[in-house]
Structure 1
Amino acid sequence: MSETKRRHRQLAETEVLQGGHTECQETATPCELDYRIIFEHSNDAMYVVRDEGIIVDCNLKMLEMFGYTREQVIGKTVYDFSPPRQPDGRDSKEKGIEIMRASLDGNPQTFEWTHCGYGGTLFDAEVTFAKAGTDHDTAYYAIVSDVSPRRQVENAIRESEEKFRLLFEKSTDPALLLDNDRFIDCNEAALKILCCPSKDRLIGLCPADLSPERQPDGALSSDKAKEVVAVASREGFNRFEWVHRAFDGTDIWVDVSLTVIPFQGRQIQYNVWRDISKRKLAEAALQVSQQKYQCIYENVAEGMFRTDAQGRLVSANAALAKMYGFARADDLINAAWNLNQVYVRPKNRKLLNRLLAEKGVARNLETEFYARDGSTRWGRMNVRVEKDEQGNILYYEGTLEDITEKKWAEDKYRDIFLNATEGIFQLTPEGRCFNANPALARIHGFDSPKDLIGYAAEIPRQLHVDEETWRTYLERMNEKGYVHDQLWKMHRKDGSIAWLSINARVVRNEIGHVLYHEGTVQDITEKKLAVDQIFIQRNLALRLAQMNDVSDALALTLETALKASGMECGGIWLKKQTGEDLELISSIGFSHKLEKKVRLLPKGSRAWERTMSGKRIVTVPSRESMPNTYEEGYKYAVLVPILHDGHTIGSFNLYSRTEATISQQALMGLEFIAGQLGSIIGRIRAQQEREHEIVTRREAEQALRAERKNLEEANIALKVLLRQREKDKEEMEQRLLLNVSELVLPYIEKLKKSRLDSLHRTDLEFVETNLREILSPFLHNVRNFKLTPRQLEIVALIKQGRTTKEIAETLGATKDAIDKQRFIIRKKLGANKGKINLRSLLLSL
């Protein structure tokens, strides 16, 4: 009760006790006094109203309930203590008048009404409204019961039911209600896990209907369902695992919580399932894993063990037993070995105990131990300690890997590492070398690997000639993880240059992080210089082969010689074409003064004698031996003779103010260049001679071509004359043959047919014979017999040996026509008399 209500109650009680109704009490009958006492002290608020709803009396409970004094209530209407409208939306006054009218017939009206207390506070109450008095003196008694607590309880119950329904429906765990072994409701999660399309399919089924025939323990699902439900009914709760079968035939493992709850006056079971299918699969996998682990434990190549807190062996696998020389693990355990006593070096045992005491684990600890037969072996040990909650040691467990052969191999490889001719290194990705063999130190010019490691803290900056090479190396290592035959140009300790061939790889840990780089180094300086010399010589040879000018060839040769030797300046002297003096043909780097002094080396001078000796000279200039070069400050000189056909034709001399030596490869390259130069000079001179000879020959050829042209013109004139002569001869022969054949022979034929005596006939035959003998040279040409084109075709076929029939088929004529033509041809050839073979005659013409 609020403080305000308490105060108003006290005021109301005071008013009543002090005679607020003294007059009534004085005139009241005992029955009325009893009624008054009941009215005043009733637990329900009561008030009396007249027509129009005016309150004429009220009890203490009403004053307490409404929070007013009697003076504030009496004379007011009930509508003054009501809001303008009731919760149903009706006007309070209209609704009150309707209720009063309804109670006029004497039937009390009970209804709920919303009142307005002190300060405007609204509260709900149940009101019983009844008529009292006579028709002439009508009054209404109202009994008001505050229903706010009841409403709060009802609201709480309703809210609880809504929460339960919400939790029931929205729970991610399947939930079902079971009554008399039948499902009467379920949530969406239950439908989902059972693959059920709707509640109608599920409601009315019993648990056994949603289960396989038997549970995994072999019990019938129907019998076991009754058992678990009976336990829940008896004890109020039961939890167990169950295999349900979904509507699609899939079996589902669930953890069931079965709780008895009241529902509509009876007890039902509230089922909550939790899907444990994955857990069951995990348990099955774990069981398989345990079996697999046990199999691995028994068959793994590494030894596995467990000892008690005192170091006595309590568990071991077959691999560990084999390492110590036992056939079985039980034999090793039964031998009651204390692993603390097997160390060849006691300090290893102390180190292990210290690591276990400080860190609780020891990793990759290499140690030498005794086997059963007294021999020693090497192992890599990993051990951890297991403690209880109080920190007491329960046991030690770990693994032991047999690395005996590896240690032997390491010793063997250590010898290889120390005695290898190639450099071997290990360095960080930043370029700090932390391991190197003696060969690598020698390559870089250091006395020992320690000196190299101490000096080369930053290899990219200290040893690399070009740091870009190092950056390229890192890019390839990061990209591919290795490099093969990468070329490094590096400084030696003395400042000289070394060319190195690198093979390296990245070493990573088990999670892929780069630990370091390791690899080998081969010194290929001599090979590189030799290759460079070869390329220099090849390029020189190719370029010289294309040159036809001696001056250009000499300049190119001198430039190449300086590049190959590392010298700064030099010159080439050749014998003059007239005389034996040497003349400076080409120079690079000479001062004007020096060039003027040495331009001509006269025959017989010291410089001439030295140059023409035909020997390679490597020397340090002195005032006595080489005064001109000495005055120029040259400290080193190389003189290489230029030979051609075994004779010295000159020399090229190289000088340096800085170099104090020259490599053997460079000297060999210079000799090769000198040989090339001698050959090219000889070739160019020979070519010049050939060109001169070619010019001379061309001039002779031009003269010959002019003479030939004249002869050709004369020849053409002679041919014209000869053709004309032949033509004249043929014409004369034709005329002679024609004249004799037409003017003489016919008359002889007539004379032969006349009557001549024998003497004249003999003379006539003699004349005919001689005429024919004279004409015979002109008859050897078939064309002289005036054959037609058709007859010439037949003659050609007769020469080929064709028969009359074949000639007729070829020419498309009849056989008679061909025979006639053959006769005419015989006649024209004068072979129609006698047995002369026509083909033989034609072939002879």
Structure 2
Amino acid sequence: MKREEQQDVAQLRSTISALEQLLEVQEQCVVEQSDNVQNLLRDLKERNTEMNRLNGALQGEVAERKRVAEALRSSNDALHAIIQASPLGVLVIDRDGLVKMWNPALERIFGWGEAEVLEGPMPFIPPDKLEESRALRTRVLRNEAFSNVEVVRRKKDGSPVEISLSTAPLHDVNGNISGILGIMADITEHKRAEAALRDSEEQYRALFDSSRDALLLLDHQGFFDCNAAAVQLFGAASKAQLIGVPPWQLSPPTQPDGGESLVGAKDRIAKAYEQGTQFFEWLHRRLDGSLFPADVLLSRYERRGKPVLQAAVRDITERKRDQEQLMEQVRLKAFAAAIAETLAASGSLAGGLQGCTEAMVRYLDGAFARVWMLDPSGTELVMRASAGLYTNLEGAHYRIPVGQFKIGLIAQEQKPHLTNNVIGDPRVPQQDWAKREGMVAFAGYPLLLEGRMLGVMAMFARKPLSENVLQAMHNVAQSVAQFVERKKTEAALAETLAKLQALVRSAPIGINILDAAGHVVLWNPACEALFGWTEQEVLGRPLPTVPESKRDELQSIMDRARQEKFVRILDTKRVTKDGRIVSVELSVSLLRNVSNEVVGYLGMMIDLAERKNLETQMRQFDRLSALTQVLGGIAHQLKNPLFILMGQQRLLEDTAQRYHYDAVMADIHKTQETAKRLAAIVQQFLHLAGPVLPNQGRSSVMAAVKRTLDRLGEELERKHIQVAAAYPQDLPDIEADPALLDDIFLQLMRNAIEAMEKTRGRGTLTVSVQLVTDTGTRGPGDAEIAASPPRRVAASADTGHGDTETRGRGETESAASPRFPVSASAAEGDWIEVRIQDDGPGIPPELRNKLFEPFFTTKPPGEGTGLGLWIVRSNLMMLHGTVQVESEEGQGATFLVRLPVVTEPPLRLDPPPAAGLGTPSSDVG
């Protein structure tokens, strides 16, 4: 039992002892004054009232004890012990009047034991009092409560006993009345004591005057008597200052609940006259104007034939202060717990700050609370949370310059500003607003972390803030600062992680991560493209790319990584989803957590097919180098005689025309065509042997396409070839030699014309130009143009560095397709795509991969050299462009040329060994 409760119990025992002594004295007074019956009757009523007052005081002590017990939240065992040890009878009945609790005091009062009465009706009600009891129970079940109602009941032996009864309804968890609590005191002896007290006016007066509680007697005109404790309590110089004063004049205009004191006082006085007693808590005012809380007991008694009231007033300032401190401690603990939960559970900075402001308003009785954060410039505070009276963030105080107003000064000085006197505070310029809203206190704290200013937290309140509350806010300010820093760090980490994830997903090399058990936890798109398995197929499973023959090697690599932290395998074998074996370069790094525990392995793989293709190309270049040297020498030897031969043919043609030798003109033309074909072959040989770098400059692809079509106009008409062309508006220029562009398009278009003429004798040549972005979507262009492949295909298409990529219509890029960055500008995603499509016989699948090889031709012997497409490919290499083929046998072929749009001239690419990049003749090989 705590100290305050022990004091209350001791005081209760002292009161009971005094009453017992008083009874003994009054018994003697009854014998001595039995002759004065009239005075006895008169005093009997007065003493009866006094005893009621004493009994009420006793009941007040019990109620106070119960409130203290409740405030201290005693355990059920302690509460049961108190009930069992209580000198007052404690009875609990249900709605039907059946007994649910019967303490030992009731057994002492009535004689029935607990086992005799539990779950049965109340046995102590006389037959003639049953109706009275039912009526009283009905009123309590209507949520009325009664204090110190005097009733007559009977004991087990049938003898009557006088009881002071106080009742109250009991509620269940849903707020419904489930029963009745009754507190009973045997006042038989008290009644006898009152009779004795009526015989001794002097002793009563002594008791009245010596009471520690302020006692005042009042009638309908006001107070007409009081004791010395009342004079002292209300700060009067003498009784005369209190006599004739109505009770409400010793009260402030309103009570803490907002009710008017005049109305409340009159209501309670009327009830006391009606019911006999009234016990309540009241806010009184002394004559000097100071206020104090008090417990007030009003007791009615008859004095000289008329009813009057006695008011017992006890100052409970200390008790209220103790209660308020206890409640404040409970609130502050709940406040700290709410803040901790909010900061731990909040997923966002804004949510956490808003939760903190709401907790300040809820648990600290704040009028409103706000948080400002320092902006990145460090010159302004920006409101991020607001709760209570104002919740709008974007108001007049949304942005506050550092160093201005009270909030800005807190940030500048990095010191709190605390006041319980908002009215008159020079840092609160809105004094009219503060008065109107009843603002009393303000507390503002800087949010500091290691000397760095992060923001300001502040709260206004309509009542003073205690030191404990201010300390709690100080602690919360530190927690909020740490929360802000943590969220900023998390945001930075999230941004970094997002960038890392984007980097991993866009990386051209395969990247995967295995956990410590060897299961896949990351699988980037490059891995999917290289091996064929999607991310969903491999996550959480063992690595599927390791052939059975390499299982031991993988374990060995993981063991080495644990020791060396990094392992690199220059050439190893892996298997794809379709069963192909591919060569990769593998790098493995060990991953550890912050506790230095191994959590996984980072693997990076590079497809070696590209590198091996390049090696194959270089070997081909070496072989071609020797051949082109021989061809160059032969071409130089043939060039001059061929020039003389062609000149003689022209002279022969002129002579035949002049002398009308029409019979030989056809033969002359045949020899001229043969000489031209031979000249083209010589020119191509010279091109291979001695490349000439083109003259780069700003060129229009669309203009080159149009020039080529104009140049071929007569041939197209003669061979019955229709042209379907689609051009966009305002295509950007590229860096290229116009003559080089003309030769590229001329070669491709003539190939298409020849294919259609030989198979059908007619056809349609479809030419389209469009802008392609890095996502594969078209720029401004004609709606009839077929959708372009994504840029990734273009970037990975043949650039002359590896095997040519060709595919049928609708086929997608294979996982093994070579991938090389075209140029820095191409990575920005701007390409001009030219599609040259015929409706000829198409290209058989077995021939597609050979189209761009030197000396490969599908034409009959003597009609082509097989160098035309090779030169197209070589020229596009020079321009950092690409060429692809889409074809289905019997459905024609489409050649796709892509040229990068650049803002700066591209770096010149040295020609590969023995691969000519000069300007060939327009004849097709």
Q: TM-score, normalised by structure 1?
A: 0.29
Larger relative helix fraction: 1
Q: Which has the larger radius of gyration?
A: 1
**Larger RCO (alpha carbons 8 Å, 6+ apart):** 2
Q: TM-score, normalised by structure 2?
A: 0.26
